[in-house]
Amino acid sequence: MKTPLFEIHKRLGAKIIEFGPWLMPLYYTSIIDEHNTVRNKVGLFDVSHMGEFSIRGKDALAFIQRLITNDTSHLSNNQALYTPMCNNNGTIIDDLLVYKFSDEYFMLVVNATNIEKDYRWIEGVARRFDKDISLKNISDETSLLALQGPKAKEALQKLTNLDLSQTKHYWFKEGKIEGIQAIVSRTGYTGEDGFEIYIRPECASKIWNRLLEIGKEEEIKPVGLGARDTLRLECAMLLYGNDMDETKTPLETNIAWTVKFNKKDFIGKEALLRQKAEGIKQRLIGLELLERGIPRHNYLILKDKEKIGTVTSGSFSPTLKKGIGLGYVKTDFAKEGTEIQIQRREKLAKARIAKIPFYRRK
C-alpha cells in the first residue's frame, strides 16, 4: 500500500521500506540528521498510513466511554485524548487518539498496522452495545501530515488564518490551510511541539510541497520513519507491537495513568482491578548502556546472570549519544539505578535502569 505522497518521497530520494502492508520512507538524508532537525528546527512527516474511524450518534459518548480505559466525560469540544483500548482480559488491543467534536461525534486515530483488527473489534463492541451509534472507517478519505519541532508553529502559521498560538497541547481546530479544509491538532509523536494536519488525500501533495517551500527560512526537512522511531524512544513513547500488545496491560507500562478506575465501566476493568489487587509482576523500564552498543528488540535483560526481562525497543540516541531502550523486567528489579546486563548474542553489555523519559523538551 502507498500513501498519496509516495511518488514525492521517491523524487526526494527517500529510502523506501516495507512497514507492515505499507511502503514508507525510512529516511531521506540520514536518521541522525533528520532526528536533529526535529529536535532543533522543524521536520515534516507523512503519516497518512495511520487509520481514522468516525463514531457518530446520540450515544457516541457513552460508547467511547465503554470502549477505552481513559475518561472522555471531561473533554470539551475540540479536545483530544490519548488512551489504550483493551480487551476483556485487560490487555492492549491498540493505543489511539480520541478527537471530540461533540457529544455525538468523535474521531479515533489508530495505528496503521492495526486498522483492520481495530475496526473489527470496535464493530463487535458496537453490535453488543446496541444503541444509537454509527461507525465508519474513514482512513481512505484521510491523509495525515505531522509538522514537528520548535519552529513548527512559525512555519505552519504562514499558511493558515487559524491562530495557532491559541491552540493548546492536545486541542485542535478546524479551518483552512492554503484554502484547503483541515483539522489541525497540537499533537505529535516526537516529544517536541508540533501539529498534525488531517486533510483529504487529493490535497496532501499541495500542503506537503507548500510547507517545504515556505519553510525554507525555518529549514524544514522531510523526515522518515527512522527518526520518528528514535524521537519517540527518547521520550519513552510506546510503539505498538514492540512495547505493548495483547500480552501486556496498561498497568505494566508507563501509561497506567490512562486507566480511570473511577469510570462506571469499561472493557477490561474487572481484569485490571484484579491485576492491581494481585500485584503487578512485571514493569516497563527504561535502560541505558554503560558501554558502546545498542540494545535491540528481544535482547535479554539479566541481573547477576539471571534472566529478569526482555528489551522491547532500543536504539542509539542521537540526542544523548548513547544506547537506550525500553523493556520489561520483573517488578522486584525495576528500581531506577539498578545495574543490569544486556545479552547481545554471546556477549554481555553493562547497563542500568534509567529514568524515563530519557529526553524532555525545555
pLDDT tens sequence across 182-229: 999 999 999 999 999 999 999 999 999 999 999 888 789 999 999 999
Residues counted in the chain: 362
- Sorted by sequence, the CB contacts under 8 Å of residue 277 that are 6+ apart come out as none
Helix (H) or strand (E) holding 228: helix 225-234
281 within domain boundaries: yes
Final residue in a domain of this structure, among 233, 251, 284: 233
- Say if residue 89 is in the same domain as residue 179: no
339 within domain boundaries: yes
- Say if residue 340 is in the same domain as residue 245: yes
Q: Give the pLDDT score at 95.
A: 98
Q: Give the pLDDT score at 130.
A: 78
Report which DSSP code applies to 48: T
359 within domain boundaries: no
Task: Give the percent of the chain with pLDDT over 70.
Answer: 100
Rounded to the nearest 5 degrees, what angle is found at the Cα of 49, between the Cα atoms of 203 and 181?
25
CATH number at residue 323: 2.40.30.110
Residue 51 clears pLDDT 90, i.e. is over it: yes
Which amino acid, residue 202?
Answer: E
| β-strand pairing of 92-102 with 51-56 | unpaired
| β-strand pairing of 306-317 with 322-330 | antiparallel
Name the residue range of residue 112's domain: 51-139
Q: How many CB atoms lie within 10 A of CB 209?
A: 13
Question: CA–CA separation, 190 vs 231, rounded Å?
Answer: 5
Average pLDDT in the chain: 97
361 within domain boundaries: no
Q: Give the pLDDT score at 286.
A: 98
pLDDT tens sequence across 72-127: 999 999 999 999 999 999 999 999 999 999 999 999 999 999 999 999 999 999 99
Final residue in a domain of this structure, among 139, 171, 197: 139
- Say if residue 176 is in the same domain as residue 306: no
Least confident of 25-39, 210-224, 348-362: 210-224
| Average confidence (pLDDT) over 333-362 | 95
360 within domain boundaries: no
- Say if residue 289 is in the same domain as residue 220: no
Question: CA–CA separation, 158 vs 153, rounded Å?
Answer: 9
Rg (CA), the chain: 21
- Say if residue 224 is in the same domain as residue 250: no
Domain count, the chain: 3
Which burial class, exposed, middle or buried, applies to 213 when counting CB atoms under 10 A from its CB (0-12, 13-18, 19+)? exposed
Q: Closest Cα partner for 177 from 211, 149, 146?
A: 211
Residue 345 clears pLDDT 90, i.e. is over it: no
- Say if residue 195 is in the same domain as residue 226: yes
Question: CA–CA separation, 9 vs 2, rounded Å?
Answer: 11
362 within domain boundaries: no
- How far, in Å, are 42, 73, 221, 294 from residue 216 at the CA level? 10, 42, 9, 34
| Average confidence (pLDDT) over 347-359 | 97
pLDDT tens sequence across 275-307: 999 999 999 999 999 999 999 999 999 999 899
- Say if residue 205 is in the same domain as residue 266: no
Helix (H) or strand (E) holding 123: helix 115-129
Task: Tell me whether the omega of the peptide bond preceding residue 295 falls within 30 degrees of 0, making it cis.
Answer: no
Task: Give the percent of the chain with pLDDT over 90.
Answer: 96
Q: Give the pLDDT score at 217.
A: 80
pLDDT tens sequence across 242-274: 999 999 999 999 999 999 999 999 999 999 999
- Say if residue 284 is in the same domain as residue 247: yes
- Say if residue 18 is in the same domain as residue 42: yes
- Say if residue 350 is in the same domain as residue 213: no
CATH number at residue 65: 3.30.70.1400
CATH number at residue 170: 3.30.1360.120
Final residue in a domain of this structure, among 124, 139, 154: 139
116 within domain boundaries: yes
- Is the entire prediction scored with pTM above 0.75? yes
Q: Give the pLDDT score at 346.
A: 84
Contact 55, 240 (CB under 8 A): no
- Say if residue 146 is in the same domain as residue 133: no
- Say if residue 33 is in the same domain as residue 79: no
Rounded to the nearest 5 degrees, what angle is found at the Cα of 255, between the Cα atoms of 75 and 194?
65
Residue 148 clears pLDDT 90, i.e. is over it: yes
Question: CA–CA separation, 271 vs 145, rounded Å?
Answer: 37
Q: Closest Cα partner for 20 from 225, 208, 204?
A: 225
1 within domain boundaries: no
Q: Give the pLDDT score at 129.
A: 87
Residue 362 clears pLDDT 90, i.e. is over it: no
